[in-house]
Structure 1
């Protein structure tokens, strides 16, 4: 995802927007400290919310940081839906054309991939019912088994 030349990539963030490990850590190492510096000015944010920063030297123009739910905190599906929908809304407000979004919360936050696929499909389909500048929404999946789950859900 970090090498995609799109208008925005979505970073599955924590509420403090601290991008130390995983894909988020790689994002700052590749794109530069400016991403973390801009994030620091916007944090903390609530679960389900999203904010936008520049992408530094990444091929994308922007990074949209979305905070998904941790399993067990309650109303996880609603919070994930909001994180996805808010990310898409930010892209639309900026008149962006292409966005890449991962399976938010399915890593260390423990959200089941099957549920994520269903919630993401609903959020994306609901969003596409509105007038939008987005022409391309890329779902980025890092494991083959997740790809199969999302492919089944979206086809």
Structure 2
């Protein structure tokens, strides 16, 4: 019997889709979620759903490439979030990781009885794949799936930002680079955590258009994240203190 599957492609925001479950492109769950500063879909989910889904995800342990985990949707209006390991150890996607992720997610959606799912272009953002090639792989895998519900492939389109008052000299020195990054004129960057445009504070030594944080998230990244300039020193000092304490305790 032929399974009736509806496949559509839309442009917009994954979290605004009227579906029962969404698919979140994740990693292999090697690094604790609270050490990561997720971007894109995962970052948006973390902001709007809360920490709950990611705490559940952490309990699943390390994931095989392309594997999936189903969690609650937190504060989001969905029945569930299906997280997939769409990128490998090198933080890049491949045809195998994309196809396996789509298959695993749709198998979960089918077994759980979700009538509709929405997914972004898995492997296109952080994974480095081109949107066109990734979309073709996803569409092909969907058509070969046994899932019989509605599948919505979402091509992300950011909301337009109004021009700000804070003009940065980078628009004079590197306007093409900033424009290609989607940074609106009047700002010097987008916060890696919340995506808000602004005159960002960047880690010392980093090019202003490669990564930045708004004032709220800059200090969190600097002091708490192990990749932060000060955070690195804090974490190294903390580890050394623990080692010294353990040695004295045992000695």
| TM-score computed with the length of structure 1 as normaliser | 0.80
What are the ranges of 5 or more consecutive residues in structure 1 without an aligned counterpart? 145-155
Matches within 5 A, 1:137-152: 137-143=151-157
**Residue of structure 1 equivalent to 2:134:** 116
| TM-score computed with the length of structure 2 as normaliser | 0.51
**Residue of structure 1 equivalent to 2:106:** 88
Matches within 5 A, 1:68-87: 68-69=86-87, 76-87=94-105
Q: Provide the C-alpha distance between the structure 2 equivalents of 1:79 and 1:3, rounded to a whole number of angstroms.
A: 26
Matches within 5 A, 1:16-95: 16=29, 18=33, 20-22=37-39, 23-69=41-87, 76-95=94-113
Structure with larger Rg: 2
Residue 136 of structure 1, aligned match among 144, 150, 159: 150
Q: Provide the C-alpha distance between the structure 1 equivalents of 2:97 and 2:140, rounded to a whole number of angstroms.
A: 13
Contact 2:69 / 2:82 at 8 angstroms: preserved in 1?
yes
Q: Which has the higher contact order (CA 8 A, sep 6+)?
A: 1
Q: How many residue pairs were aligned?
A: 140
Change (3 A) 1:59 1:109: same
What are the ranges of 5 or more consecutive residues in structure 2 without an aligned counterpart? 1-13, 159-251
Q: Provide the C-alpha distance between the structure 1 equivalents of 2:153 and 2:126, rounded to a whole number of angstroms.
A: 18
Q: Provide the C-alpha distance between the structure 1 equivalents of 2:74 and 2:127, rounded to a whole number of angstroms.
A: 26
